[in-house]
Amino acid sequence: MKPFKNIFDLYVNSSVHVALAVVALSLLSYLEYGLNADFLLLIFIFLGSITGYNFVKYAGLAKLHHRSLARNLRFIQVFSFLVFLGLIYIAFLQSRGVLLMSALLGLFTLLYAAPVLTQNRSLRDLAGIKIFIIAVVWAGVSVILPLLDHPEVSIIDKVLMLLQRALFIIVITLPFEIRDLEFDAAHLVTIPQKIGVKKTRLLGWLLLFVVLGLELLKRQFQIVNFGALAGAAFLSAYALGLANKKQTQYFAAFGVEALPIAWVLLWFSLKMSLVWIFPVLASL
């Protein structure tokens, strides 16, 4: 069991798992509008997510509860370097618009981690802003990049999806903020620090209702998309209800971060079920 656990730890700690979650949300942007997925772009997003996350976690800015990763840090550093080389190569195969938008989102990631502000602080050290930077970057990567070259998707739907994804990311980031109550400095003013764990759960559940409501406003509403979103919202609400300061090691880092992957699986399952059982509904 120990070799399996070591492999699993490397899978989680090297950011492969979270990168798959970002790719899952990006793939959803294609699926929900019946678009052909750009797999080169998805690979670009996958490699970029690993690079960005590992830079944030291991560039000398990691929190105290990440120090246990030191024994695997050398492997992760080598792995990250190879991933970065792959990212550079695949970047030459992307459009100029994708590269410009990626550079902007990458700048946010850099400012989030690097001590570029006064008193040797980064954006993550500013009061109350950390969770919103994460939401903006995830939403931008998973919505703007896939739909950038698809004018057939209305601007209204793109804006609604962007807001929807940002709110969803905020919700699934709340269990991490609850977990980190013992580690986050008081000046960060995270949501659980500000309003407490119980009200944080209530806020997250309210935001999930908003996310579902935004789906009803889209011009290209489809029952498959709404059903999969409702399932993902239910799982997210359940996970938020279970979140506390004494979480198990993998609750947030694996379970919560798997929610976007579960969303995609729900979409495929619902689509296949409707095609086989209710073919008329599948097209609605």
What separation in angstroms does the CA of 25 have from each of 131, 161, 246? 18, 11, 28
pLDDT of residue 182: 78
Structure tokens at 165: 């994804």
Which residue's entry shows tokens 């001590």? 115
d(CA 181, CA 122): 19
pLDDT of residue 106: 87
d(CA 48, CA 22): 10
pLDDT tens for the chain, 284 residues: list them: 677 888 888 899 999 999 999 999 999 999 999 999 999 999 999 999 999 998 887 765 444 444 555 567 878 888 999 999 999 999 999 999 999 999 999 888 777 766 655 555 666 666 567 888 889 999 999 999 999 999 999 999 999 999 999 999 999 999 999 988 877 766 677 889 889 999 999 999 999 999 999 999 998 888 999 999 999 999 999 999 999 888 888 899 999 999 999 999 999 999 887 766 666 555 55
Interior angle at CA 122, CA 118 and CA 126, nearest 5:
85
pLDDT of residue 61: 44
What is the pTM assigned to this prediction?
A: 0.89
Neighbours of 251 (CB within 10 A): 18
Nearest alpha carbon to residue 133 among 149, 113, 116, 150: 113
d(CA 28, CA 26): 5
Q: Is residue 36 classed exposed, middle or buried when 0-12, 13-18 and 19+ CB atoms within 10 A define those classes?
A: exposed
d(CA 124, CA 130): 5
d(CA 73, CA 246): 25
DSSP letter (8 states) at residue 180:
G
Neighbours of 35 (CB within 10 A): 15
Contacts of 238 (CB under 8 A, 6+ apart): none
At residue 40, φ and ψ (nearest 5 deg) are -65, -40
Tens-place pLDDT, residues 121-140: 666 666 567 888 889 999 99
Nearest alpha carbon to residue 278 among 219, 227, 213, 218: 227
Nearest alpha carbon to residue 137 among 160, 106, 115: 106
pLDDT of residue 206: 97
d(CA 55, CA 47): 12
